[in-house]
A and B are shown apart, each in its own frame.
Chain A
Amino acid sequence: MLAQQILNGVALGFIYILVSVGLTMVYGVLKLLHFAHGVIYMVGAFAAMIAITYLHLPFALAILFAMAAAALAGVAVERIAYRPLRGAHPIATLISGVGVAIFLENLFQVIFTSDTQAFPETGVEVSVIQLTESVTFTNVKLFIILAGLIGLGLLYAFLKCTRMGIAIQAAAQDMRAASLMGVNVNRVVSVTFMIGSALAAAAGVLVAWNFNALFPTMGAIPGLKAFCVVVLGGLGSIPGTIAGGLILGIVESLSDGFMTGMVVDKDAIAFVILILILLVRPSGLFGKHVEKV
């Protein structure tokens, strides 16, 4: 039972990681709380659905299609809602982001209705893997973990080995200095949004597939929880985000399995943990402690 819950938690954790890495990178580069990220996750799931149902693409291509579509959407959101406001007060950008999120969520409700629809046939048989007598695992969850590991691996290689990756890291350390050193800040920002959105879209597709359900507001809760993960990991730290995502996934999964009849539901637990941790460590688990001056 315990091993089962932990295993489920790890799979869930990888979903959180995929969603949160984008937020972390955006925060690292722009010091911006990207409130429309959850919507991008939803856009990804819908794009995959369109790819399979209307374009008749195979599942693997549909995922790539969804990632590309979400990357475009992410860049568009940045162009429309954030770039014109760059340098404005955080509250202004935050509201602009919330505005885009609300708009897109409702636009999708108009187009696709607000009802939950089933995820189309992927051609991949969902099967149960019997690990031990009591521990089972679906291949979907295995795919989630694999996708998470591949995503993180590619991201790591990209950040370490490409010029653009290094430029992103430089911009995250000191945007101004990076721009003075000849880094094209706008391009860095666009690429950051692209990568983050693509990863979130992958998570969206996998979740929609796993639960066989997608709906226009599906991104709201994961988007908010991703903030939890990011803050837990100390805003802007990718290793912190990975740890934060796994912790949240496992804790949620454990609470789901072992505690019933609580006064708050599973979705709120993320925030309970977050607030408790912030009260003890105001800069998050892995954030550098900065004296408030």
Chain B
Amino acid sequence: MLDMQGITKRFGGLTAVDNVSLKVRQGEIVGLIGPNGAGKTTFFNILTGIYKPDAGMIAFEGREIQGLRPFRIARCGIARTFQNIRLLKEETVLDNVKVGMFHKTGTGLWASILGLRSARYEERMVTEESLRMLETVGLAGCEYEQAGNLSYGNQRRVEIARALVSQPKLLLLDEPTAGMNAEEVQEMTDLIRRISEQGTTVILIEHNVSMVVGLCDRIAVLDHGVKIADDVPEAVVSHPAVIEAYIGKEEGEEVASGAAH
């Protein structure tokens, strides 16, 4: 469904993403790993249109989307979360999720000013959908809390709910388990699996290698902007280039043990 070819992005002299290609099939969970500064988030920012790639082609469901403005790409059905949680911290959880429904609704200026029935109907629908989504991600009961007051883990859930509420075809998760304890990681893993089972394709950036290995159908590894491996988890973790060039000695063992589980 997603086909990225030869994506390259330079910042001044630095090539953050260098000729990376990635194919994602419908329904897959693809992990994107790599050391800090490997270009993973830049890769997401290119995919979602925040950065324009210097070279390369991105086709989503057969339509070329590189260079489109971010909101157009979002409207194609690509939703994302952010590495450094970007919620509207002073708004309620519910309002945050409602924002995610934006491009699924179409009430115009006049309809809202005049309070037309269609506008009211749509607003009710948005609220209901958002509430349902909050329940799905396990946040029933905190709808009216200020988003900024939630725990770290729950803020990530709000972000996911915000991304999911528009029923995207492709969901991009940027480090969904960063800063979580083991139990929360497990809950997040289950949540992502449930999302996937409902038919949403998922790409996630992660540092928690054992989680990625357990969850993903396929893993791509970026190092200094170059894709050095792209295979099923078992093959990736035993890939010499991956162990050698990226993961390093000690962590290599951890990965190997992660793969064994």
Chain B residues, CB < 8 A from A291: 51
CB-nearest residue of chain A relative to B51? Answer: A291
CB-nearest residue of chain A relative to B52? Answer: A291
1/0 contact string of A252-293 vs chain B (CB within 8 Å) = 000000000000000000000000000000000000000101
Smallest CB separation, B97 vs chain A (Å): 23
* Alpha-carbon separation in the docked complex, A195 to B45 (Å): 43
Interface residue ranges of B102-155 to A (CB < 8 Å): none
* Alpha-carbon separation in the docked complex, A91 to B13 (Å): 36
B50 at the interface (CB under 8 A from A): yes
1/0 contact string of B194-238 vs chain A (CB within 8 Å) = 000000000000000000000000000000000000000000000
Chain B residues, CB < 8 A from A293: 45, 50
Interface residue ranges of B164-221 to A (CB < 8 Å): none
3 CB-based A-B contacts, threshold 8 Å:
A291-B51, A293-B45, A293-B50
Partner-A contacts on B (CB < 8 A): 45, 50-51
Chain A residues, CB < 8 A from B51: 291
Smallest CB separation, B182 vs chain A (Å): 33
Smallest CB separation, B69 vs chain A (Å): 12
* Alpha-carbon separation in the docked complex, A293 to B86 (Å): 12
Chain A residues, CB < 8 A from B45: 293
Which 3 pairs from chain A and chain B are nearest by CB? Answer: A293-B50, A291-B51, A293-B45
The binding surface of chain B is classed by DSSP as loop
Smallest CB separation, A75 vs chain B (Å): 35
CB-nearest residue of chain A relative to B11? Answer: A291
* Alpha-carbon separation in the docked complex, A293 to B50 (Å): 7
CB-nearest residue of chain B relative to A291? Answer: B51
Smallest CB separation, B17 vs chain A (Å): 15
CB-nearest residue of chain B relative to A293? Answer: B50
Smallest CB separation, B103 vs chain A (Å): 20
Chain A residues, CB < 8 A from B50: 293
* Alpha-carbon separation in the docked complex, A293 to B51 (Å): 9
Smallest CB separation, B190 vs chain A (Å): 32
* Alpha-carbon separation in the docked complex, A291 to B50 (Å): 9
* Alpha-carbon separation in the docked complex, A291 to B54 (Å): 14
* Alpha-carbon separation in the docked complex, A291 to B10 (Å): 13
* Alpha-carbon separation in the docked complex, A54 to B183 (Å): 78
Smallest CB separation, B45 vs chain A (Å): 7
Interface residue ranges of A84-141 to B (CB < 8 Å): none
Smallest CB separation, B51 vs chain A (Å): 7
* Alpha-carbon separation in the docked complex, A293 to B45 (Å): 10
* Alpha-carbon separation in the docked complex, A293 to B11 (Å): 14
* Alpha-carbon separation in the docked complex, A291 to B45 (Å): 12
Smallest CB separation, A91 vs chain B (Å): 16
Smallest CB separation, B89 vs chain A (Å): 14
Smallest CB separation, A114 vs chain B (Å): 44
* Alpha-carbon separation in the docked complex, A293 to B41 (Å): 13
* Alpha-carbon separation in the docked complex, A291 to B49 (Å): 13
Smallest CB separation, B73 vs chain A (Å): 15
* Alpha-carbon separation in the docked complex, A291 to B11 (Å): 10
Smallest CB separation, A284 vs chain B (Å): 19
Smallest CB separation, A258 vs chain B (Å): 41
* Alpha-carbon separation in the docked complex, A266 to B45 (Å): 45
* Alpha-carbon separation in the docked complex, A52 to B60 (Å): 76
Smallest CB separation, B226 vs chain A (Å): 22
* Alpha-carbon separation in the docked complex, A291 to B51 (Å): 9
Smallest CB separation, A80 vs chain B (Å): 29
Smallest CB separation, A289 vs chain B (Å): 10
* Alpha-carbon separation in the docked complex, A293 to B187 (Å): 31
Smallest CB separation, A88 vs chain B (Å): 15
Smallest CB separation, B191 vs chain A (Å): 28
Smallest CB separation, B80 vs chain A (Å): 13
Smallest CB separation, B83 vs chain A (Å): 12
Smallest CB separation, B54 vs chain A (Å): 13
Smallest CB separation, B50 vs chain A (Å): 6
Smallest CB separation, B139 vs chain A (Å): 28
CB-nearest residue of chain B relative to A292? Answer: B50
Smallest CB separation, B218 vs chain A (Å): 29
Interface residue ranges of A162-203 to B (CB < 8 Å): none
Smallest CB separation, A255 vs chain B (Å): 38
Smallest CB separation, A288 vs chain B (Å): 10
* Alpha-carbon separation in the docked complex, A291 to B70 (Å): 14
* Alpha-carbon separation in the docked complex, A276 to B14 (Å): 31
Smallest CB separation, A161 vs chain B (Å): 31
CB-nearest residue of chain A relative to B45? Answer: A293
Smallest CB separation, A283 vs chain B (Å): 15
